[in-house]
Chains A and B, each alone.
Chain A
């Protein structure tokens, strides 16, 4: 199993005192190469769950196992290396660095790599992916010169450049128009299928969610499996 989330709980302190529970005893398993969509109402904790899986946040209780390793026990340095090599993130905004060209932006994750072989592999993969998503010609341009869709595709390439096992996408099409949104969704699932990277996608877009192998609904702090196309 690629990812095993076991009985995790998470709450945030509320202004009036005490804590606001986001989820409790939540569990999830994701297999290698699987695609999972997580849907749910606003404030249900979808993004928090994604942060916990992506180790940007830690659970109050429970474990997150990645290929059998408990990442909640990792040190900061191990977590950074784990995110760098095993996790890819795509957000609603592309967060490309305006000061860097497209190529530089997508190669940014290879910068912390110390192994020259890995670095070279990342560079090769990045270039290949750029060609594959159709923005190779724009590689020397800066984000400000590109469209929103192109930037978001570059953000996907950046997420995959180190060959991660898991791609986490948080409302990846939220800031795009319909055409670009569709194009990006196709790209994400195509990459999921062709490169074998598992995909967890958080979205309000049910059409997009239904393209996943599984659709999970997060409500009242618990995940519930949705039958395919149940909400279409």
Chain B
């Protein structure tokens, strides 16, 4: 007889008990390993999505709203020796079946034959016919389209000029295109192509790049280059190649020879010369002159006025700041003479085309004939709708033109001289008056004698394309990193399964204790036979280990099934937290090994601790009349812990009450948790108080119940603990469910009190609160609109599983949001109280204040208030967004907010707004929605109630709570199994006693009542402790009107827990008594 033989025989003999123990271990292994597999699978799925959406593309080049030439692709391809494809990527909206189906925010992708080589996809993408489009499968589904069907898209017309640059017309802003579906692309055919780090599938429309350019009258433009690089060709190599490959046209410059001035002139397709170009060329050691030509509303001398004229500049050597030179034509029209004062009225244009008319006065220095250098119509900037108009009355200027002011002589001047300036002022002065974020000159003039090549070389030497928004991004690496560092579903599900795992472990302990207790006589026998404590412990541990290993091995099989079940739920009822149908499960041996190891170690640890405790407290039970001393060695520590945690809970609540943070959820949750610990220890003490309870003057039913509960104190306590935890978790999670609509109009809520949140695919260029604009747009209802400027970035909301580094930036006018929303996070060391007004602070360097949703800061970005987010602004400079405050759960999830002024300073090309907050009377809600949707239907306008948007974000949180409760429910089932086992074992142990009671004439009903009451008492104690402590833990949630609370569902769940417990108690007891087990036991006795 060896020890191993003994162990194996023992395992075989107690197989039922061991099987139960193994099942407990198996369930915890399944849950732990399953959570790890879910994490693996989500990460694998995210990485797979990266491959699906980027194909072979490793790097991209873009230029922040700037369009460059398609031919840059071939020049770069030659330089780096890797495939490069040009892409014209625009956002638009799609319509089919006569407007029956509308889809905003579709991705319109102009590609050429190089796309397949640089990115991937089927060969049919290499030759897309004009007017035809390949669409992604999801778009086909949403728009009910099949091959051969026609549909319409509306896109923002490609314009090199920033749309809100002065005098740019917004006419023809939207370009409609009728397309026929040439084919439908599956995910594997690049149907999912997307450059943003997000797992949701985009709605894609692939068109011929040439066709798209032709439709836009753009002429060979692209805004992205897609590069399939290799390990040798990395980002610095591409940047190096780009810095040699660009041409003037790629930065929208044109070099023209002006014969009138005998000079070479550099003009920009963007009207104003970009500031980095001007600043660069200022350094160039060649003679040059900066000119600025502006459109003024009126030139007036005395009572005579000339409307709508261009005024240009001369160098300082020719004019003093307060002087002007006017043309003979103007002098004649105004009857002006040298020395007269001429008044100039002009518009200054705000961010949303708000117009402010200003006036400047000059002294006429001299009058010049409209000839030679003074008849240079090329000084007029090339403004579509203006410079190309045949008549003044056809002008489309982007500013209001009083047609009645235009006289026949003005038309005649236009016909003869076009936009030849009628007056000239000094450049230095003009710059002060008319410079804008778009630039401060319209022409750079180089003195004659230099060749085109000289100038081009000078420009290339002194201008850095990376300061003009060009950037090379390692999209594939970034995407993989974002996927790898995304939401960790392993941790998430381990956290969400906390109660289930705890319940399994408690069940394991319970079963192991029961098994060991059942064998306590054997343990003592081994002891008197001369086995050392270590040998006995080793033997029991070895038995436990074999059971645990077997259970854990079986648990691995269950884990695969658990993972499938979780995935089925994530792809259906829990899809809110993943927002993709592309989740696939992946089973990695290493994950199984880790799950096996964790759960095995965990189970062995609890078995070891439980065994050590049992062996330490083991009385010699073999002889009659001996009972071991009942005093537990750890009782002093337990008492200290019980009182300490109870007092700490009380102190926390008292402290919180005296602080402004009375509703601090974290403090209360900690207080609730401490009270739970204290009360559980109290229950432990009461259950274990042992002999004192027996000194009663008389025997009553409650005394009998109390003594029976104490008889198997550990078992009783475990039941209390499981049910207390279950109740605590259910109430805590239920209480924190968010309510979306009850306080939607409260300005401090997450909606800011706004009625609607709207977005447009095509920007709205004007201020919608201006009466004129409202009249023109047909907006009649009473409401105000807060318009936000958008710089596109990744979605950093909880809807994105990837870890984002560059979320969307929204530029906001702080006045529009004053007094709205609530702040929760602030940096202790910054000495700034977060407020909308604080966004306007000026800081040195390239650091500006920013605000974001606290959840975005913490979870989406993995940062905290006080940290800095880095961007590269439109001028190629590093822009630091310092987070000065965190917003309480708001509709701004996913974005970072900065002031409008800072936004325009760093992203001057962004024109118009794409994000809108609408406030109005609730009773006019439907009418306001209808009016706005009608007015902006061609802009890809989507609007939803602000409360509904918040609900969409909160649905993620609520789904997490649902998962937590669902897994908690599974834990409860485990708890119920524990209760049933304890009950059954108690009844078996008490067979003789119950038989005796029956023999003494106790009716079965009375015996049933006593037993039911005993266990009911445990149940009540557990649920009561859990309920009381969780109510304290969630007090802020109950006091917070923004939180739903769900008291009815909590009550229902608690009732279900209770009823479930009672049902099992009654069923098992009745069955036991009905089987006459007790009488049989007595007879055998």
Contacts and interface: CB of A to CB of B under 8 A. Distances in A.
B1039 interface: no
Contacts of A51: 620, 623, 626
B527 A99 contact: no
Contacts of A110: 1
A15 B695 contact: yes
Interface stretch (A63-71, A87-95, A217-225): A87-95
Nearest to B528: A89
Nearest to A15: B691
B532 A112 contact: yes
29 contacts: A13-B629, A13-B631, A50-B623, A51-B626, A56-B528, A56-B620, A57-B620, A80-B533, A81-B530, A83-B528, A83-B530, A84-B530, A84-B531, A87-B530, A89-B528, A91-B623, A92-B624, A97-B525, A100-B9, A107-B1, A108-B6, A108-B529, A109-B530, A111-B2, A112-B531, A112-B535, A162-B530, A170-B624, A171-B624
B629 A47 contact: no
Interface in B5-33: 5-6, 9-10, 12-14
A54 interface: yes
A80 B530 contact: yes
A84 B529 contact: yes
Contacts of A81: 530
Nearest to A92: B624
A95 B620 contact: no
Contacts of A85: 530
B622 interface: yes
Contacts of B533: 76, 80
Contacts of A174: 624
Given A13-B629, A92-B624, 18 more contacts: A51-B620, A51-B623, A54-B528, A57-B620, A83-B530, A89-B528, A93-B622, A95-B522, A95-B525, A99-B13, A104-B1, A107-B1, A108-B529, A109-B529, A110-B1, A111-B1, A111-B6, A170-B624
Interface in A174-189: 174
B521 interface: yes
Contacts of B631: 13
B3 interface: yes
Contacts of A54: 528
A47 B624 contact: yes
A72 interface: no
Given A47-B624, A111-B3, A99 B528 contact: no
A42 B625 contact: yes
B529 A97 contact: no
Contacts of A25: none
B626 A47 contact: yes
- Interface size class for chain A? 35 or more
B444 to A, nearest CB: 97
B841 interface: no
A134 interface: no
A48 interface: yes
Contacts of B522: 95, 97
B1 A108 contact: yes
A48 B626 CA distance: 8
Given A15-B691, A56-B527, A108-B1, A170 B623 contact: yes
Most buried by B among A50, A84, A85: A84
Given A89-B528, A108-B1, A111-B2, A95 B622 contact: yes
A206 B6 CA distance: 39
Contact of A47 (B6, B521, B532, B623): B623
A85 B695 CA distance: 43
B530 A112 contact: yes
Interface centre among A42, A80, A104, A174 (most CB of B within 10 A): A80
Contacts of A104: 1, 5-6, 9
Nearest to B629: A13
A95 B692 contact: no
A97 B620 CA distance: 17
A107 B535 CA distance: 16
Nearest to B522: A97
B12 A76 contact: no
A80 B6 contact: no
A170 B624 CA distance: 9
A80 B528 CA distance: 8
Contacts of A98: 13
A218 to B, nearest CB: 13
A97 B691 CA distance: 31
Contacts of A95: 521-522, 524-525, 622
Nearest to B521: A95
Contacts of B532: 76-77, 80, 112
Given A99-B9, A108-B529, A91 B622 contact: yes
A12 B625 contact: no
Interface in A158-180: 158, 162, 170-171, 174
Interface string B507-544: 00000000000000110111111111101000000000
Contacts of B622: 91, 93, 95
Nearest to A78: B532
A99 B530 contact: no
Contacts of B531: 80, 84, 111-112
A228 interface: no
Interface string A94-123: 010111100010011111100000000000
A56 to B, nearest CB: 6
Q: Which of B1, B522, B527, B532 has the most CB of A within 10 A?
A: B1
A10 to B, nearest CB: 12
Contacts of A171: 624
B86 to A, nearest CB: 79
A57 to B, nearest CB: 7
A81 B624 CA distance: 25
A54 B691 CA distance: 28
Nearest to A48: B626
A107 B691 CA distance: 39
Contacts of A42: 625
B529 A99 contact: no
A45 to B, nearest CB: 9
Contacts of B14: 99
Contacts of A15: 691-692, 694-695
Contacts of A170: 623-624
Nearest to A119: B1
Nearest to B11: A99
B429 to A, nearest CB: 102
A160 B4 CA distance: 23
Most buried by B among A81, A95, A107, A174: A95
A169 B625 CA distance: 15
Contacts of B5: 104
A109 B694 CA distance: 39
Contacts of B2: 111
A110 B625 CA distance: 29
Contacts of A47: 623-626
A13 B630 CA distance: 10
Contacts of A100: 1, 6, 9
Nearest to A91: B622
A145 to B, nearest CB: 14
Interface in A127-164: 158, 162
The CB with the most chain A CB atoms within 10 A, among B524, B531, B629, B692, is that of B531
Contacts of B521: 93, 95
A99 B626 CA distance: 26
Contacts of A158: 529
> B13, B525, B529 — which one has the most chain A CB atoms within 10 A of its CB?
B529
Interface string B386-401: 0000000000000000
Tell which of A42, A87, A97 has the most Cβ of chain B within 10 Å: A97
Contacts of B13: 98-99
B12 A99 contact: yes
Nearest to B695: A15
B691 to A, nearest CB: 5
Contacts of B527: 56, 80, 83
Residue from the set B13, B525, B527, B530 with the largest chain A CB neighbour count within 10 Å: B530
